[in-house]
């Protein structure tokens, strides 16, 4: 399956780069900071984009991690749309502060609900993080997280640790990996112990 192959490629790539970085003590702090800024400049340069996504929840609640599939659309600076196809159709459109959720029930009836992002802090944190990353807005992300670049470009990996009150919004740590300006994988480690993996690839 393409996704699995993709994941494998991402993991292998990450490992390879990790090995290289670990053996290069010369990759000093200053270079990392410069690299991080370069990376976010690459993110910003991507502009509007649509990606296929697979989301897996690794949780003690489940025997096997359930998967959600669909497309993720981002238009800078603040429009993020998550369009799930399976296990059921659901569209979440977040434009700046407003959240619109359209769900298709088992009976095929579509229910639409609106909310303000700030009233759902658990969601707000994830959305702000993903939006800031895809927009290449390093300043915003730095206000929320301590960012550590674990592996340099081109096959990069970064880790984000919440600055104040870690875990307040349900997330303990975030790690991201990719190649060049492409983000391939984001993983959220939640306070519940769950890990949510978000894998991104070219939309078909």
- Residues lying near other proteins in the complex (CB under 8 A) are found at 55, 57, 59-64, 66-68, 82, 84, 87-88, 90, 92, 97, 101, 103, 114-123, 126, 170, 190-192, 194, 196
Per the CB < 8 A criterion, the answer to whether 134 and 49 are in contact is yes
User: Distance between CA atoms of 29 and 204, rounded to whole angstroms?
Assistant: 39
Per the CB < 8 A criterion, the answer to whether 163 and 144 are in contact is yes
Q: Provide φ and ψ at 107, rounded to 5°.
A: -85, 5
Residue 157, both tokens: 């990996």
Q: How many CB atoms lie within 10 A of CB 14?
A: 21
Distance (Å) of CA 170 to CA 11, 57, 141, 167 = 26, 14, 17, 5
Q: Which is nearer to other proteins, 70 or 178 (CB)?
A: 70
Place of tokens 């970064």: 158
- Least distance (Å) between residue 68 CB and other proteins: 4
Q: Which is nearer to other proteins, 2 or 116 (CB)?
A: 116
- Least distance (Å) between residue 112 CB and other proteins: 11
Q: Which is nearer to other proteins, 21 or 174 (CB)?
A: 174
Q: Which is nearer to other proteins, 84 or 158 (CB)?
A: 84
3-state secondary structure of 169: coil
- Least distance (Å) between residue 35 CB and other proteins: 30
3-state secondary structure of 28: coil
48: which DSSP letter? Answer: S
- Least distance (Å) between residue 169 CB and other proteins: 8
- Least distance (Å) between residue 119 CB and other proteins: 5
Q: Which is nearer to other proteins, 155 or 185 (CB)?
A: 185
Q: Which is nearer to other proteins, 47 or 121 (CB)?
A: 121
- Least distance (Å) between residue 137 CB and other proteins: 16
């Amino acid at each position: 399956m393409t996704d699995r192959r993709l994941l494998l490629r991402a993991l292998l790539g990450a490992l390879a780069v990790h090995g290289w970085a670990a053996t290069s003590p010369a990759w000093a702090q200053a270079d990392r900071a410069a690299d991080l800024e370069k990376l976010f400049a690459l993110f910003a340069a991507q502009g509007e984009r649509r990606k296929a996504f697979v989301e897996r929840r690794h949780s003690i609640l489940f025997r096997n991690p359930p998967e959600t599939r669909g497309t993720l659309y981002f238009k800078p600076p603040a429009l993020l749309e998550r369009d799930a196809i399976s296990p059921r159709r659901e569209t979440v459109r977040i434009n700046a502060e407003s959240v619109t959720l359209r769900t298709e029930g088992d009976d095929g009836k579509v229910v639409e609900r609106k909310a303000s992002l700030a009233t759902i802090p658990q969601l707000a944190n994830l959305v702000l993080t993903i939006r800031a990353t895809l927009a290449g807005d390093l300043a915003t992300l730095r206000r929320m997280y301590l960012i550590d670049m674990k592996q340099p470009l081109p096959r990069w990996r970064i880790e984000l640790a919440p600055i104040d009150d870690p875990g307040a919004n349900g997330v303990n740590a975030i790690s991201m990996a990719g190649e060049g300006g492409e983000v391939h994988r984001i993983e959220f480690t939640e306070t519940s112990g769950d890990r949510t993996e978000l894998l991104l690839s070219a939309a078909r």
